[in-house]
Structure 1
Amino acid sequence: MLRGKKILITGAGSGIGAETARLLSAAGAVPILTGRNGDKLKAAAAKLPGRHGVYTLDVTDNGQVETVIAQILADFDGVDVLLNNAGFGLFERFMDAPVSHFGAMMDTNYMGIVRCTKMVLPSFLARGDGHIVNVASIAGKLGTPKSTGYTASKHAVLGLTNALRAELYGTGIVVSAVNPGPIDTPFFEQADPDGTYVKNVSWFMMTPERAAKSIVRVIDRRKAELDMPFTAAAGVKLVQLFPRLADRVTGKLLNKK
């Protein structure tokens, strides 16, 4: 049951974070929206029908994460779910990408999850219940050209998620990974500014609402992992079972950036 669940969402100012907050609010949950852009957060919150919270939060800032999440836990007397959604990507060839871009994606996409989880987990352990949902990516399982930095950061997210799930087994805390393929969101304004990738995969892209509905189901059912859409999930299985064959079959198909 989602009704009354207090759900802390990072990266909630736009895209699937904002849409997930809207669906959760409509289902009677209490979404707590966080993100770096206060104006975007206010705009997203204005669409919510029920009780909610709004807090400016940069997941790359250690001090801010500690202060803001401590305030959220105090204001709402704890939370039930942590939805780690904040992230960004830059699509560049490995030789063209500066080292700083690799570090920036890892700092937001991976270390942001580490920081937020370390702040929320003690309260989950204290009561023997809680749910951590990490939005990773199909890229975390399936590497493609011009996404080495982004793919590496999402591999790290999945490694953390799987190890933490095993570590917390038997504590009452569920750890989930959601691995979406491309979604039609502002993510690509930064990742793909010339629109080449979006144009090449437009037939395959999911709407934010479809992705958000899947995330809500993962939260509601406390499912351990979800790959989406189905075609991407099938591609992951092919690569896992027959990696050399998959390289030959999908090499050109995946080179869309």
Structure 2
Amino acid sequence: MALQGKIVVITGASSGIGALTAQMLSERGAVPVLLARSEDKLQTTAAGIQGAYGLFVCDVTDEAAVERTFGEILEQYGRIDILLNNAGYGKFAAFTEMESEEFADMMDVNYMGIVRCTKAVVPHMLTRGSGQIVNVASMAGKIGTARSVSYTATKHAVLGFTNALRQELRRSGIIVSAVNPGPIATEFFKTADPSGNYERSVSRIMMTPQHVSAKIVKLMDKGKEEVDLPGLAGFGIRLYGLFPRLADKLTYNLMNKK
């Protein structure tokens, strides 16, 4: 019953794990507040929610829009219990093939989008002395692979931000959490890998969005600070931390499927 009645703001809620997490939270008695750029897609997500929900069109790269939207949410609901920073995208290409503007655009959404939304909610949570911020990072934030330099950099930034902010807010009553998934079978790959080659190469370890969303809901329910998905990959990451250069050499062919 920990999530019963909780107001949970979800960015990137128009599809994938954002949409599924909203539905699962509603089933647990929470009130998901859906944010994304496309109202049509948000309405599709909302159609699958049985209980109460909120819906706001918001572009996380627009600071004024973020501030306005969160102000409207607080005015309507009176509080925000949990913020799920889920908006983001990726594109896989060789470093020499990607323009500098694409690096900047991806960082603006994946990292600065989280910064903007978090800044909009932290003062409120500090006043209340409670709340949880959940940032969807990636295993890419812990280990780099070829042809994902720009995406990996954004997720390293997300994890650095999350870990530092957790320390800063540790005695405030606010929980700061990171979710670090590996490959998920969502529309993410339509942009990241239009050829479908990478998706096919990792199909055996691809997680379902239902599995990842269930883990996110559990993290919220338990107030956990971090979860690596799948669990075996998390164990591998810890070994990588001990022997990074050796692991790079031994796992090159396995990890670089893009």
TM-score, normalization: structure 2? 0.98
Which residue in 2 is equivalent to 1:116? Answer: 117
Which residue in 2 is equivalent to 1:51? Answer: 52
- The separation in 2 between residues aligned to 1:244 and 1:149, in whole angstroms, is 21
Which residue in 2 is equivalent to 1:70? Answer: 71
Provide Cα deviations, 1:178-232, integer angstroms capped at 9, x if missing partner: 0000100011100000101000001111000000000001111110111100232
Structure 1 gap segments, 5+ residues each: none
- The separation in 1 between residues aligned to 2:225 and 2:170, in whole angstroms, is 12
User: Cα RMSD (Å) of the superposition?
Assistant: 0.6
Which residue in 1 is equivalent to 2:192? Answer: 191
- The separation in 2 between residues aligned to 1:8 and 1:158, in whole angstroms, is 20
- The separation in 1 between residues aligned to 2:20 and 2:59, in whole angstroms, is 19
- Percent identity (aligned): 55
After the TM superposition, list the runs of 4 or more consecutive aligned residues in structure 1 that deviate by more than 3 angstroms: none
Which residue in 2 is equivalent to 1:13? Answer: 14
- The separation in 2 between residues aligned to 1:170 and 1:230, in whole angstroms, is 28
Which residue in 2 is equivalent to 1:138? Answer: 139
**Where do 1:208-247 residues align within 5 Å?**
208-247=209-248
- The separation in 1 between residues aligned to 2:230 and 2:47, in whole angstroms, is 29
- The separation in 2 between residues aligned to 1:240 and 1:70, in whole angstroms, is 41
**Aligned partner of 2:136: which letter?**
V
**Aligned partner of 1:104: which letter?**
D
1:40 aligned to 2:34?
no
- The separation in 2 between residues aligned to 1:180 and 1:126, in whole angstroms, is 32
Give SS of 1:253's match.
helix
C-alpha deviation, 1:248, in angstroms: 1.7
**Where do 1:110-189 residues align within 5 Å?**
110-189=111-190
Give SS of 1:95's match.
helix
Give SS of 2:84's match.
strand
C-alpha deviation, 1:155, in angstroms: 0.3
Give SS of 1:184's match.
coil
C-alpha deviation, 1:63, in angstroms: 1.0
- The separation in 2 between residues aligned to 1:130 and 1:247, in whole angstroms, is 38
Structure 2 gap segments, 5+ residues each: none
Provide Cα deviations, 1:144-199, integer angstroms capped at 9, x if missing partner: 01000000000000000000000001110000000000100011100000101000
Which residue in 1 is equivalent to 2:90? Answer: 89
**Aligned partner of 1:99: which letter?**
S
C-alpha deviation, 1:64, in angstroms: 0.6
- The separation in 2 between residues aligned to 1:75 and 1:189, in whole angstroms, is 35
C-alpha deviation, 1:244, in angstroms: 2.0
1:61 aligned to 2:62?
yes
**Aligned partner of 1:100: which letter?**
E
Which residue in 2 is equivalent to 1:4? Answer: 5
Which residue in 2 is equivalent to 1:200? Answer: 201
Q: Quick check: 204-213 or 244-253, which moved more?
A: 244-253
Give SS of 1:89's match.
coil
Give SS of 1:83's match.
strand
Give SS of 2:204's match.
coil
- The separation in 1 between residues aligned to 2:105 and 2:219, in whole angstroms, is 28
C-alpha deviation, 1:37, in angstroms: 0.9
C-alpha deviation, 1:117, in angstroms: 0.5
- The separation in 2 between residues aligned to 1:215 and 1:230, in whole angstroms, is 13
Provide Cα deviations, 1:26-53, integer angstroms capped at 9, x if missing partner: 1100000000111110000010010000
- The separation in 2 between residues aligned to 1:73 and 1:135, in whole angstroms, is 23
- The separation in 1 between residues aligned to 2:250 and 2:235, in whole angstroms, is 13
- The separation in 2 between residues aligned to 1:236 and 1:226, in whole angstroms, is 12
C-alpha deviation, 1:115, in angstroms: 0.3
